[in-house]
Structure 1
Amino acid sequence: MAALCGAVALAGCTTTGSANAGASRADGDRAEGYAAKTEAEAPFASTYAPYPGIPTALVGAVVYDGAGGRIENGTVLLRDGKVVAVGDASLPTEGYRVIDAGGKYVTPGIIDIHSHLGDYPSPSVDAHSDGNEATSPTTPDVWAEHSVWPQDPGFSRALANGGVTALQILPGSANLMGGRTVTLKNVPARTVQGMKFPGAPHGFKMACGENPKRVYGGRGRKPSTRMGNFAVNRQTWLEAIDYANSEEPKRDLAKETLKGVLDGEILVHNHCYRADEMALVMDMAKEMGYRVTAFHHAVEAYKIGDLLRENDVCSAIWADWYGFKMEAYDGILENAALLQNEGACVVIHSDDQDDIQRLNQEAAKAQAAGRRMGMDISDATVIGWITLNAAKAMGIADMTGSLEAGKMADVVLWNGDPLSVYSRPEKVWVDGALLFDAIDPKRRPVSDFELGQPGEGDVK
């Protein structure tokens, strides 16, 4: 325990043959194969190692498993960094540290699919602004992890206040192609490699709509229109296909990333607001031989729920952000509920250093908007919006996102109903290690940056 607390305090927190060749979702088997191929070979490989934990049994709680299940008076067993079993009160707990969770709730660790922590850390000053490489409309060569500052206080706040155990850091949306994303375990570490989620595939951030045309049109450059956006994207993909089909191409970092997308090893996360543009992007993806795993922000997703379901594309959305620019004008509070009612994949995301601490409340707000419209979506389903669905779109659902035997023991014990504004995390485990305990001050991680500076009289 002393070692853990000290570390917490000090660390802070196959080639595409043509433009029409189809691409399929990277499933669990592909994700595992990709991890096996890259963990040892790729640069900047994950060095993450779980913190030590002890066998733990949470008994008596209401358990939401993240996959749509709810268990009253449930039991969750954790050992050696994994979930051992989830069931009712009949599960034996001998050999476990038993925590009486009567009257409380247990969920999987919360997962934020869209965050800029570390790339736009706190405090928000120009010196910390490292999320947008706004020097070209296409920058597939940049990697978000090369800007992540592990000491960002936002990491520990997301853990303690929001129960966030994993998150995806994306480049910003100034560019049509913003670069690679990185998935992190929300643990204190000295380096970003120490936080990198082992086995998680890279993502690839793309953006459509107002942002790229405003940024580059304002400089008198292409693209300055939505048709310009698509023209630049399509030409870039054609060049990437030529690269992918070359037998011995000269190494090109940008095209390496695009080839990874075409091969299905890197998952596309596309910032897009309007329904018509999302439909066009899915058509472009089919033309060029890749697929979109999720549209982010997607305020008009409710208009094309059937298309999103048919194409197996998730919508990572806010509960109630809308109207702040023209392409967000038709956003409605019922977006998530309408998508769920259509059988499409719903993810609630943050895109904000404060909202990441309240994703449970954001999900509840979206649920309430649907209820007012006459759609009664169960609490167990809504918990999946901030756990398993996010993991699915990030390519890590075989490892985390739900309470199932053999998965990572990423778990939150809430002091009340997690969909209540009055509830907050009481304890948070990451890979079975207790990293936050509201009752124990020694289990509250603090980054170096928050420790302060010595006063003048303290310097010897």
Structure 2
Amino acid sequence: MHRLLKLGLLSALAALAGCDSPETKNAGIEAQLPDLDPFPSTYQAPPSEPLLIRNATVLTGAGEQLDGTDVLTVDGKIQQVGQNLAAPANGRTIDASGKWLTPGLIDVHSHMGVYPAPATSNHADGNEMTSPVTADVWAEHSIWPQDPQFEKALAGGVTTAHILPGSANLIGGRGVTVKTVPSVTVQGLKFPGAPYSLKMACGENPKRVYGGKGSAPSTRMGNMAGYRSSWIDAAAYKRDWQEYLDKVEQNDPEAKAPKRDLKLETLMGVLDGQIRIHNHCYRADEMAQMIDMSKEFGYTIAAFHHAVEAYKVAPLLAQHDICAVMWADWWGFKQEAFDMVRENIALVDFANACAILHSDDETQIQRLNQELAKAMAAGNEMGLAISRAEALRWITLNPARSLGIDAVTGSIAAGKNADLVLWSTDPFSVYAKAEKVWIDGALRFDRSQPQLNPTSDFNLGILTPAEDRP
């Protein structure tokens, strides 16, 4: 949608350049065009001193292990990765001998902020269960920045999280990518430049929610009909906007902008390649149907979430460049989650598809490294010989790729954001702890200095002893 409208606006302004009072006409056109970024990120990386982390065991996040390696960061970016790097002037050097360094972990499926913990009904803001299609809602408008989950995730090495609406609806709304930094506002959490996502849901959830109300959908065929009707409407809306922009380019005095529709605006963004689909979908047959539907309407799918049966269609996912977002070993909590194997993630990776481990849980997000170890072990028990370096991609570079931010984060490489975690020992060990966590080169968590670590306003006066309160 953004590209379509931007190109149309440029064409329109060019066409009007030779007309009388172009400023007046241009202002009129701009007033009718949707604001392309009405809730912009206000996050700014704080200043950070140059930092040299020396002699660490580095897992790059891109499939490599580099022993006895240094990493130099300057101005919030990774500047060099190598051995015997020169210490920076006016900077800091950390001896990481015996410790491990990884990229910041990325959880591609979280409900932090929209379902805060501890949970209360008045803060349960993740599902707009008023219509099967609520593409007009945005998860960021429900996020409570004071949710203590953010600081707990940071302490577990998570530097980036993708916050989604729930899965009650066929189309649940937009998801947003955030940094796990303290902020009073949602805009201060938002990852600059990260594309929006669209949450869709297959299977049991929407048909149970709406069938239980005596309305559609109440079956899986009703689910498919609901998706297709929505995409038909979105395609028509896109045509209406294109026709309007064509008329403006032709200086047609009858040009009239279509009435804005928030639901269709988001769906049009998907059709135009600006918004990425993240699709809750457990069963192999339903993933195949969703792929066929994407071909029918000309959009792409970034990822299938939960994907308990992804191992059955792993070659199909690889063929269509679709990531599978999976648990290490959760299964059996409903019918569509029964046909699970613990080797699911490893088998998807073995098929050269994009494998991702996620939490969807306020506890697992604090221990993604342990969940990762379980998934790697399951694959190795069947003889796949997966290395730590290869497995780490499942919670670093692969999720970054699914979110469209892999050019700036997700691996330790020169030029990327200095999102880093220094572990006390092998992060695949149950005894490993994240000792220090940097986001854009700024130290955001230090286990040795708890007084420096962030805590939300919600916690103040609850966790602080009475005698220490101001």
Deviations 1:307-337 (A, max 9, x none): 0000000001000001111100101100011
| Structure 1 position 241 matched with structure 2 position 235 | yes
Given residue 229 of structure 2, which amino acid in structure 1 is its aligned partner? Q
Aligned match for 2:421, one of 408, 412, 416: 412
| Structure 1 position 283 matched with structure 2 position 292 | yes
344 and 457 in structure 1: CA distance in 2 versus 1, 3 angstrom threshold: closer
| Structure 1 position 191 matched with structure 2 position 185 | yes
- Asked if the contact 1:150/1:190 (under 8 Å) is kept, the reply is yes
Deviations 1:363-406 (A, max 9, x none): 11000011111111111011110000000000000110011111
- Asked if the contact 2:271/2:299 (under 8 Å) is kept, the reply is yes
| Structure 1 position 220 matched with structure 2 position 214 | yes
**How many residue pairs get matched?**
423
| Structure 1 position 338 matched with structure 2 position 347 | yes
| Structure 1 position 302 matched with structure 2 position 297 | no
Alignment gaps of 5+ in structure 1 = 1-13, 17-37
**CA displacement at 1:451 relative to structure 2:** 1.2
- Asked if the contact 1:61/1:104 (under 8 Å) is kept, the reply is yes
Q: Indicate the structure (1 or 2) with the bigger Cα radius of gyration.
A: 2
Alpha-carbon separation, structure 2, partners of 1:168 and 1:370? 26
450 and 459 in structure 1: CA distance in 2 versus 1, 3 angstrom threshold: closer
Report the equivalent of 1:106: 101
Aligned match for 1:232, one of 200, 204, 226: 226
Report the equivalent of 1:399: 408
Given residue 237 of structure 2, which amino acid in structure 1 is its aligned partner? Y
Report the equivalent of 1:29: none
| Structure 1 position 211 matched with structure 2 position 211 | no
RMSD, aligned CA: 1.9
Alpha-carbon separation, structure 2, partners of 1:204 and 1:86? 36
323 and 259 in structure 1: CA distance in 2 versus 1, 3 angstrom threshold: same
Aligned match for 1:64, one of 56, 59, 62: 59
**CA displacement at 1:54 relative to structure 2:** 1.1
Aligned match for 1:312, one of 303, 316, 321: 321
Alpha-carbon separation, structure 2, partners of 1:314 and 1:364? 20
- Asked if the contact 1:116/1:169 (under 8 Å) is kept, the reply is yes
Alpha-carbon separation, structure 2, partners of 1:393 and 1:166? 13
What is the TM-score when the length of structure 2 is the normalising length?
0.88
Deviations 1:163-186 (A, max 9, x none): 000100000000000000010011
Given residue 175 of structure 1, which amino acid in structure 2 is its aligned partner? N
- Asked if the contact 2:461/2:469 (under 8 Å) is kept, the reply is no
| Structure 1 position 368 matched with structure 2 position 362 | no
Alpha-carbon separation, structure 1, partners of 2:399 and 2:427? 17
Q: Which structure has more RCO (C-alpha within 8 Å, separation ≥ 6)?
A: 1
Given residue 147 of structure 2, which amino acid in structure 1 is its aligned partner? D
Report the equivalent of 1:431: 440
| Structure 1 position 270 matched with structure 2 position 279 | yes
**CA displacement at 1:51 relative to structure 2:** 2.3
Provide the identity percentage. 58
Given residue 59 of structure 2, which amino acid in structure 1 is its aligned partner? Y
- Mean CA deviation greater in 293-302 or 435-444: 435-444
**CA displacement at 1:42 relative to structure 2:** 1.1
**CA displacement at 1:456 relative to structure 2:** 10
Alpha-carbon separation, structure 2, partners of 1:363 and 1:182? 24
Aligned match for 1:147, one of 142, 161, 164: 142
4+ residue segments displaced more than 6 Å = 454-460
Given residue 370 of structure 2, which amino acid in structure 1 is its aligned partner? Q
- Asked if the contact 2:423/2:432 (under 8 Å) is kept, the reply is yes
- Asked if the contact 1:15/1:244 (under 8 Å) is kept, the reply is no
- Asked if the contact 2:51/2:88 (under 8 Å) is kept, the reply is no
**CA displacement at 1:111 relative to structure 2:** 0.4
| Structure 1 position 201 matched with structure 2 position 195 | yes
61 and 455 in structure 1: CA distance in 2 versus 1, 3 angstrom threshold: closer
Report the equivalent of 1:34: none
3-state SS of paired residue (2:459)? helix
3-state SS of paired residue (2:54)? strand
Aligned match for 2:88, one of 90, 94, 119: 94
- Asked if the contact 1:65/1:107 (under 8 Å) is kept, the reply is yes
Aligned match for 2:39, one of 15, 24, 44: 44
3-state SS of paired residue (1:391)? helix
Alignment gaps of 5+ in structure 2 = 6-32, 245-256
Report the equivalent of 2:165: 171
Alpha-carbon separation, structure 1, partners of 2:469 and 2:274? 52
- Asked if the contact 1:15/1:262 (under 8 Å) is kept, the reply is no
**CA displacement at 1:443 relative to structure 2:** 2.3
249 and 425 in structure 1: CA distance in 2 versus 1, 3 angstrom threshold: same
Alpha-carbon separation, structure 2, partners of 1:252 and 1:166? 31
What is the TM-score when the length of structure 1 is the normalising length?
0.89
| Structure 1 position 385 matched with structure 2 position 380 | no
- Asked if the contact 1:15/1:245 (under 8 Å) is kept, the reply is no
3-state SS of paired residue (1:183)? strand
